[in-house]
Amino acid sequence: MKFFIDTADVAEIREAQTMGLLDGVTTNPSLVARTGRKFREVLDEICEIVDGPISAEVVGTDFETIKKEARVLSKIHKNIVVKIPLIPEGLKAVAWCADNGIATNVTLCFSPLQALLAAKAGADYISPFIGRLDDISHDGMELVRQIVEIYDQYDEFDTEVLVASVRHPMHVLEAARVGADVATIPFSVLGKLAHHPLTDIGLAKFLADWEKVPQ
């Protein structure tokens, strides 16, 4: 499973990059707003740091506007993946992007039927938002399971399942268990994945015992 980082904070991206685990980046308007910086400036910097797919989201909600934004975003760097909301006008734009060699990530997916439509439109990635489903007492991971099940049955679907709205390490574990292609992980969660108290206790004991070994 590929690891993307879900942030527009370049300090976090640089730090994650040093872990050697990073395959790509996803951003969204809320994450960019949090940085207080200009969108273009942030994107340019991310493209310099990471050599992998970098999702940049459109804010248009009609076909023509999304198409224009997709054209502009895709010209910024070869790694830009245009993130488009899962609305009917968005799906039209996804199909247009597929025909014009522009990579897309279809976002705000909350149902397996939406994911089926995104694959038929030719999306490169589908982003089911699992944390937000969990928030309203729905099983977010069940959505991922159903999407993987559907996509696996049709060879012509190349759309990768990108698990988004990840809130804790168990989301990452379950995404890997059900065979998702990608998990986009917030920096705070990425930092937790390697931790285990028994590792820390075991290491402390090894180091303490090492002090007893004659040097």
105 is a contact residue toward ligand G3P (CB under 6 A): no
CA distance 197 to 207: 15
Helix (H, G, I), strand (E, B) or coil at 160: strand
Least gap, CB of 80 to ligand G3P (angstroms)? 16
> Which lies closer to ligand G3P via its Cβ, residue 75 or residue 138?
138
Q: What is the DSSP letter of 122?
A: T
Among 13, 84, 109, 164, binds ligand G3P (CB under 6 A): 164
Cβ burial 51-69 (10 Å sphere, 16+ → b, else e): eebbbbbbebeebeebbeb
| Structural contact between residues 126 and 115, judged by C-beta atoms closer than 8 angstroms | yes
Among 52, 60, 131, 179, binds ligand G3P (CB under 6 A): 131
> Which lies closer to ligand G3P via its Cβ, residue 60 or residue 131?
131
Least gap, CB of 54 to ligand G3P (angstroms)? 13
| Structural contact between residues 110 and 133, judged by C-beta atoms closer than 8 angstroms | yes
114 is a contact residue toward ligand G3P (CB under 6 A): no
| Structural contact between residues 31 and 12, judged by C-beta atoms closer than 8 angstroms | no
Catalytic positions, written as ranges: 83
Strand partners, 3: 183
Among 184, 185, 189, 190, binds ligand G3P (CB under 6 A): 184
Among 132, 146, 169, 179, binds ligand G3P (CB under 6 A): 132
Least gap, CB of 108 to ligand G3P (angstroms)? 8
Structure tokens at 181: 């292609």
Among 3, 16, 22, 28, binds ligand G3P (CB under 6 A): 28
52 is a contact residue toward ligand G3P (CB under 6 A): no
Q: What is the CA radius of gyration of the chain?
A: 19
Give contact residues for ligand G3P (rule: CB under 6 A): 6, 26, 28, 129, 131-132, 164-165, 184
